[in-house]
Structure 1
Amino acid sequence: MASKESFTLDPGTRALLHDLKISAAHVLRRAQLPAGLFAQGAVTMTTEEYYRFWEALDAEAADPDLAVRIGRVLSAETFNPPIFAALCSADLRTAAERIATFKPLIGPLDLDITSDHTGLTVTVHWPDGPTPPPLLAAAELAFWAALARIGTRREVNPTHVAMRRAPQPSAETTSYFGTRIRQGDADAVTFSAEDASLPFLTEDESMWDFFAPELRRRLSELEASATTADRVRAALHERLPAGESSINAIAAQLMLSPRTLQRQLQAEDTSYQAVLSDTREKLARRYLADRTLPTSQVAYLLAYDDTNSFYRAFRRWTGLAPEAARNSSHLTPA
């Protein structure tokens, strides 16, 4: 089972590479990973190894539209159990909520699902540390279009697709999504409310009832192994962009009282303020590495009341102003 520092490379990846006509052996060699990796079933990798695999896949294929090719060849047979089970849902909206719940069983990236009368948006939050390879981020977004089409048997197109490192416009990519990938503050894909509610022809609640107890059991085991500090960091990743950084807001999300939350953190030799500061620092380094984000926007994403408060905090962490850090090596993960 994957920890917050690791991803699970699903056995279905081997079938996916076969369908893409890409040599698994060549990709593993290029990524400096064991040649017999896929013979081991589900393989847990460090984040660095997982990212290296995707970078090697990108280099081996040498195809700027590889994410689209991945989306086109995806099938239910290549899905792992949580996603296969989500295909049993009534519609894309329900499937997205279920996948977001069980995504930690697949890897430590988190999904934020926003659904209202205007549409359904899936936003990907990556773990602290190195920036994910562009191919991995693009493939994650292509997956959602593929899932909608497999479930509905219709050519469902997103209304908006955005990436923090958007690729050069491509006719193939635009054709696949039905819209071009735009530069954005996060990797996210949006579907219209109508498309998000289209019935899945794969709906099978009896199959979901079969899968769900085991998925919940595995998720409970994973969450039980997570520290309180891990859970606070995960909640902060979700709440900071919404402008919420108070212990009251985070404790409420974790269904704890602020006093209980502080007591649990103290038992782990830390405090809420220490976890908040550490999370903000790591996110600040990641955001500032993206030169398209103005400093004022970074301050906003970290839930600071004003830019000056962010400047003071960043100087306290690094001894540098944010602009100076952008031109130095101080943006490597802390």
Structure 2
Amino acid sequence: MAGERFDLEPSFRALLLDLGISPVRVLRRAALPADLFIRRPIELSIPEYYRFWNALDAEGGTEGDRDLAVDIGRAISVELFSPPIFAALCSPNLTAAVQRLAAYKPLIGPVRLDADSTDALTITYRWPSGATPPALLATTELIFWVALVRIATREQVRPVRVTMPAPAINRTEVESYLGARLRRGPGFSIVFTAADAGRPFLTENDQMWRVFAPELRRRLADLEASSTLADRVRAALSETLPAGNASISAVTRQLAISARTLQRQLSQEGTSYQAILAGTREDLARHYLTNGDLRTSEVAFLLGYDDTNSFYRAFKTWTGTTPDAIRSTTPADA
């Protein structure tokens, strides 16, 4: 990720009200400031961003067979103004819209988009390592593209394939909205035919895009510039640790920087590689122990430890307690 904080568009408050969901209750459940929606800009860290979506799911997904992701897709409209989304609607077709949002997605969420238009248009999501995205968020991201192309073309476009690791809670309603069967796979992706991806957008507005593009580029540049080397090391470790590699060489290869330069710049930022490694391991350990059914030995492996005892000793040093004690607490307590 380019940075560690992401914009939540002010229009989200209007969307919640349209859905009949109390913004106050969502913020309270997510343990976020009550005045969040009147701040400018509204920026959330990854944990805060995920808490927001989990709280939204809890507040809005309790009415019988309602699938909130589908309701959000139906509620999306041009009136819910969001510059990056509006820029997508200004595109000539879905392929161009995906390319634009793929470039600017780091502004509005902790996720990357990969787009492949070789034969069909395949949109694949890459989420940050170490934490599973909320089910509502991931499902809504896939539904968003269907909503977008239908708004822009005024055609009932259907994807040809939709893949996710686990089926949606209300699978029938989600499949009915998409017009496609959900397939189980290792990640989140959605595929459109080349013909549908190239359908002209009736909302195309190149003049408006020229107005928005410079501001979006500036915001993206600010985001990337604000990312410190420590931020980049943390992001790299989140990818190398689950592969069992905690070495500084693995990180320097990924960041294309020498070990000496990395240590020197981290020192200038008031930290060190070992300090970042320990902090990242602790954060990931707490997440693994309080979310999911991983055994302690599996957590140790995912954090790059050769044996469970080494992990136990390190965890006791970080927290003053044991992994088992943390596991027995609730996620909120942890």
Distance of 1:330 and 1:10 partners within structure 2: 30
Equivalent residue for 2:198?
Answer: 198
Deviation at 1:162, TM superposition (A): 1.9
Tell which deviates more after alignment, 93-102 or 76-85.
93-102
Equivalent residue for 1:291?
Answer: 292
Distance of 2:280 and 2:291 partners within structure 1: 17
Tell which deviates more after alignment, 260-269 or 34-43.
34-43
Determine if contact 2:92/2:204 at 8 Å carries over to the other structure.
Answer: yes
Matched, 1:317 2:314: yes
Alpha-carbon spacing, 1:251–1:102, altered in 2? closer, same or farther (3 Å) = farther
- Output the aligned Cα RMSD: 4.5
Equivalent residue for 1:142?
Answer: 143
Alpha-carbon spacing, 1:174–1:294, altered in 2? closer, same or farther (3 Å) = farther
Determine if contact 2:70/2:174 at 8 Å carries over to the other structure.
Answer: yes
Question: 1:263-293, CA deviations, whole angstroms, 9 ceiling, x for partnerless residues?
Answer: 2112223333543453344334434544366
Equivalent residue for 1:87?
Answer: 89
Tell which deviates more after alignment, 257-266 or 293-302.
293-302
Determine if contact 1:87/1:200 at 8 Å carries over to the other structure.
Answer: no
SS at 1:77's partner residue? coil
SS at 2:328's partner residue? coil
Determine if contact 2:70/2:143 at 8 Å carries over to the other structure.
Answer: yes
Deviation at 1:68, TM superposition (A): 0.9
Determine if contact 2:129/2:238 at 8 Å carries over to the other structure.
Answer: no
Q: Which amino acid aligns with 1:232?
A: V
Distance of 1:18 and 1:113 partners within structure 2: 32
SS at 2:306's partner residue? helix
Equivalent residue for 2:11?
Answer: 12
Structure 1 stretches lacking a partner, 5+ long: none
Alpha-carbon spacing, 1:20–1:279, altered in 2? closer, same or farther (3 Å) = same
Determine if contact 2:57/2:68 at 8 Å carries over to the other structure.
Answer: yes
Determine if contact 1:285/1:332 at 8 Å carries over to the other structure.
Answer: no
SS at 1:309's partner residue? coil
Question: 1:27-73, CA deviations, whole angstroms, 9 ceiling, x for partnerless residues?
Answer: 56776877776455653456676556545544443234111110122
Determine if contact 1:112/1:238 at 8 Å carries over to the other structure.
Answer: no
Distance of 1:81 and 1:14 partners within structure 2: 15
Alpha-carbon spacing, 1:72–1:231, altered in 2? closer, same or farther (3 Å) = same
Equivalent residue for 1:216?
Answer: 217
Alpha-carbon spacing, 1:241–1:179, altered in 2? closer, same or farther (3 Å) = farther
User: What is the TM-score normalised by the length of structure 2?
Assistant: 0.71
Alpha-carbon spacing, 1:32–1:311, altered in 2? closer, same or farther (3 Å) = closer
User: What is the TM-score normalised by the length of structure 1?
Assistant: 0.71
SS at 2:116's partner residue? strand
Q: Which amino acid aligns with 2:74?
A: R
Distance of 2:98 and 2:287 partners within structure 1: 26
Tell which deviates more after alignment, 309-318 or 237-246.
237-246
Deviation at 1:296, TM superposition (A): 8.6
Larger radius of gyration: 2
SS at 2:90's partner residue? coil
Distance of 1:259 and 1:90 partners within structure 2: 48
Identity %: 48
Structure 2 stretches lacking a partner, 5+ long: none
SS at 2:79's partner residue? helix
Determine if contact 2:159/2:191 at 8 Å carries over to the other structure.
Answer: yes
Equivalent residue for 2:42?
Answer: 43
Alpha-carbon spacing, 1:84–1:310, altered in 2? closer, same or farther (3 Å) = farther
Q: Which amino acid aligns with 1:14?
A: R
After superposition, residues 178-193 of structure 1 pair within 5 angstroms as 178-180=180-182, 182=184, 188-192=188-192
Determine if contact 2:162/2:183 at 8 Å carries over to the other structure.
Answer: yes
Deviation at 1:159, TM superposition (A): 1.8
How many positions carry a matched residue from both structures? 322
Q: Which amino acid aligns with 2:271?
A: T
Deviation at 1:215, TM superposition (A): 1.5
Distance of 1:331 and 1:257 partners within structure 2: 38
Tell which deviates more after alignment, 64-73 or 265-274.
265-274
Q: Which amino acid aligns with 1:147?
A: L
Question: 1:225-277, CA deviations, whole angstroms, 9 ceiling, x for partnerless residues?
Answer: 22211122234445666787665564465454444333211222333354345
